Structure 1
């Protein structure tokens, strides 16, 4: 299914001297690999069908507005690949048509297969959904950038918050799914990185309907955990975590996948002009902006910012500028966004949010870094396992 959104631009040379006007629009492809969601204990809150895609549409509207003054046209092509359809032939067809700027919402395996295609070697691919640390480490690719925070960034944000609150003894409750194990591993790494103590941990061991028995089962289940200041939950599918708060044996705050959540973005983010971003997004989507929406918006905004500053829409030139010290993107999070030139990860603050409010935004005051305080979140240059990305400096 394809939908095209084309900008009708005018030239205003007085506002950007030397800006080039392209006869053909700059093509940006948004690709979603649809997946059948796994069963969970409660389907009370289903994810929006346009999650991520709506953010791309807002991003297009924003860069179109600038393009009208610079004589730049943009065209957004949206492709959804059904769960039963083959992914690679679909993206190969787009590459054969000339697609080179790809904003992709797909599982890690599909992302890597796309990045490894010979015809995608000269493309720039933005990952807007997969937080796996391996994609920024041993499985990094030179044509793959990430506008969604890594698991390590989210875990480090939560560890900074815990340390700031002097909640130094943590307990971990890990779900049974692979994504839960990955987040739990990132949390353990953050505990070690910031000198916290993991007092105890346990795995979720129930498959019952917690809507009926949470008040009976959860207290007994958590009774065996040693004394702790903060209970951290790794439940990335939203399966059981919602039943943990206020049912634990010890009255302790809950964080991680539930409670105080470190997220790339949230409908609760309002400071630094984000209220205006949220308002424009609600006009398009009829809901609040979530992390994949923001990641897609950031990818489009980064493309638009680069083309405006450099006057060159070629993928190689775009990649080089994105990874340079000159690139900065105003991202409504209090600090300009940029990209790490050792693994392609977008540097960004990580809001720590509840369902309706921002508690704090990491990096927190006092966590310093010789280059950028944003590099206190996630994998820094000295410890990176990425050897295939290349250094743009």
Structure 2
């Protein structure tokens, strides 16, 4: 009994300190026994974005001013939680460039300050320019916002990693689901903008890949006024063909939401509106995603969007590489991210990893309507000799990327 009392008396101050830290929401300080405390290493990350006008945002959708940034900040908090135990500290520097301005000076300034891990949300042309400013041994760029297949194909760069699915990956996810439902006759309705045409091209490729038939393609070129309404225009526009599903390509949201329930035949609408393939969705709760959704909403006061998820993935990938390698060295982190050993938990049920041939992050694609998650691709029955995630988008034998090989 005396021994127990003595031990408790000796331990009491330490126990009280531990309880105080826990009550304050802080991790207890590590106890150093006979050795010098290990020095904390810093891993510095930058986020470079450019303002872009929204052409067709509905008045009832609240504007989002921190898209991407909020996801990066949440991932920073996650990294620093782990960093308390690995003696690593992560910092984030954010720079926003005005719409239409040259982004290269801001990018070069970040590099001059020693930042070599840089997230970007930029138009495709600006991203192409940055990839040539510095080489593979100097900087690693994380593209968190683009869907362009060309940036992973003929215009790829060895020093650019991509975290969001491409248009081809999104279209293939949709194609797999439609094939599983045996909806193989498609009416394709693209808009006239560049992004609409790019997604329409991805849909055509997916139709060929999965044996579907595009029975007709009708480009939407209408606008509405008092004489021409959706109720009068859409039924006439969708007449004349027998089809299972209408596939819309309207990335800017100019007309796609007006098609559902107004078609001549009672058919579902899928694509950029209706049933939508997406990297992330507020209704996704499986595989622990609910806790990520809740933490993001608690910090940001809104639901996590695709751009937030793309930024979160990039920062978490850096954190995972730093944890696994026990290093902050740029070359060590870069090589590990590109290695077969790297995997990332992205709350999608399977490990995510970067394709070595085009630097694209492999990942499942969600298929969702506005208030419901419908399916996740790859769908059951779709097989691949190496990795089923490579059934989405361009596989190695199909890729036109040469710089990343």
Normalization by structure 2: what TM-score? 0.89
- TM-aligned CA deviation for residue 49 of structure 1: 1.4
1:330-341 paired onto structure 2 within 5 Å: 330-341=345-356
More moved, 210-219 vs 333-342: 210-219
**Pair 1:25-2:42 in alignment:** yes
User: Which residue of 1 is the match for residue 155 of structure 2?
Assistant: 139
Structure 1 runs not aligned, ≥5 long: 1-7, 15-19
**Pair 1:304-2:319 in alignment:** yes
**Pair 1:269-2:284 in alignment:** yes
1:37-56 paired onto structure 2 within 5 Å: 37=54, 39-40=55-56, 42-45=58-61, 47-56=63-72
More moved, 212-221 vs 116-125: 116-125
- Say which SS state the counterpart of residue 25 (structure 1) adopts: strand
Distance 1:192 1:292, change over 3 A: same
1:44-83 paired onto structure 2 within 5 Å: 44-45=60-61, 47-83=63-99
Q: RMSD value over aligned CA atoms?
A: 2.1
- Say which SS state the counterpart of residue 337 (structure 1) adopts: strand
Deviations 1:194-217 (A, max 9, x none): 111111110002122599811111
C-alpha distance in 2, partners of 1:183/1:46? Answer: 26
Contact 1:115 1:121 in 2 (8 A): no
- Say which SS state the counterpart of residue 188 (structure 1) adopts: helix
- TM-aligned CA deviation for residue 192 of structure 1: 0.4
User: Which residue of 2 is the match for residue 125 of structure 1?
Assistant: 141
- Say which SS state the counterpart of residue 164 (structure 2) adopts: coil
C-alpha distance in 1, partners of 2:29/2:338? Answer: 28
Contact 1:11 1:70 in 2 (8 A): no
User: Which residue of 2 is the match for residue 166 of structure 1?
Assistant: 182
- TM-aligned CA deviation for residue 40 of structure 1: 3.1
- Say which SS state the counterpart of residue 192 (structure 1) adopts: helix
Distance 1:62 1:182, change over 3 A: same
Contact 2:41 2:328 in 1 (8 A): no
More moved, 301-310 vs 314-323: 314-323
Distance 1:145 1:11, change over 3 A: farther
Distance 1:306 1:211, change over 3 A: farther
User: Which residue of 2 is the match for residue 176 of structure 1?
Assistant: 192
User: Which residue of 1 is the match for residue 308 of structure 2?
Assistant: 293
C-alpha distance in 2, partners of 1:28/1:10? Answer: 27
1:164-313 paired onto structure 2 within 5 Å: 164-209=180-225, 213-224=229-240, 226-313=241-328
Distance 1:88 1:210, change over 3 A: farther
- TM-aligned CA deviation for residue 326 of structure 1: 1.0
- 1:322 is aligned, of 322, 337, 356, to 337
- TM-aligned CA deviation for residue 50 of structure 1: 1.1
Contact 1:105 1:128 in 2 (8 A): yes
Contact 1:306 1:322 in 2 (8 A): yes
User: Which residue of 2 is the match for residue 149 of structure 1?
Assistant: 165
Normalization by structure 1: what TM-score? 0.91
- 2:53 is aligned, of 23, 27, 36, to 36
- TM-aligned CA deviation for residue 267 of structure 1: 1.0
C-alpha distance in 2, partners of 1:155/1:263? Answer: 10
**Pair 1:90-2:103 in alignment:** no
C-alpha distance in 1, partners of 2:43/2:29? Answer: 15
- TM-aligned CA deviation for residue 60 of structure 1: 0.5
- 2:386 is aligned, of 356, 371, 386, to 371
Count of residue pairs the alignment pairs up: 376
- 2:360 is aligned, of 333, 345, 352, to 345
Deviations 1:327-359 (A, max 9, x none): 111111111111100000000000000111110
Contact 1:12 1:70 in 2 (8 A): no
- 2:369 is aligned, of 330, 342, 354, to 354
- 2:130 is aligned, of 111, 114, 133, to 114
Contact 2:67 2:305 in 1 (8 A): yes
C-alpha distance in 2, partners of 1:238/1:69? Answer: 46
C-alpha distance in 2, partners of 1:376/1:12? Answer: 46
- Say which SS state the counterpart of residue 203 (structure 1) adopts: coil
